[in-house]
Amino acid sequence: MHIPATLLVDLQAIYPHTYVPYPVKQIPAWYVAMSGDPLIGGAMGYFGDKSRFAWFKPFLYLEL
């Protein structure tokens, strides 16, 4: 159950943006707007500078 959420939401912060279709790119935006998740929102750049959340990207690689 968690694998689709991981692939479609969490890991988009490390995928090359050219490989992600536009409708799939909207899923994290919806998720962050709904939940206000500071980690995914920060890693995706929804809350300003993504470099502040550079420490979180190694955890996403581990999740992958």
**Domain-by-domain residue ranges, the chain?**
2-63
CB 41 within 8 A of CB 32: yes
Between CA 28 and CA 6 the distance in angstroms is: 11
2-48 per-position pLDDT tens digit: 999 999 999 999 999 899 999 999 999 999 999 999 999 999 999 98
Between CA 18 and CA 4 the distance in angstroms is: 20
pTM of the model: 0.83
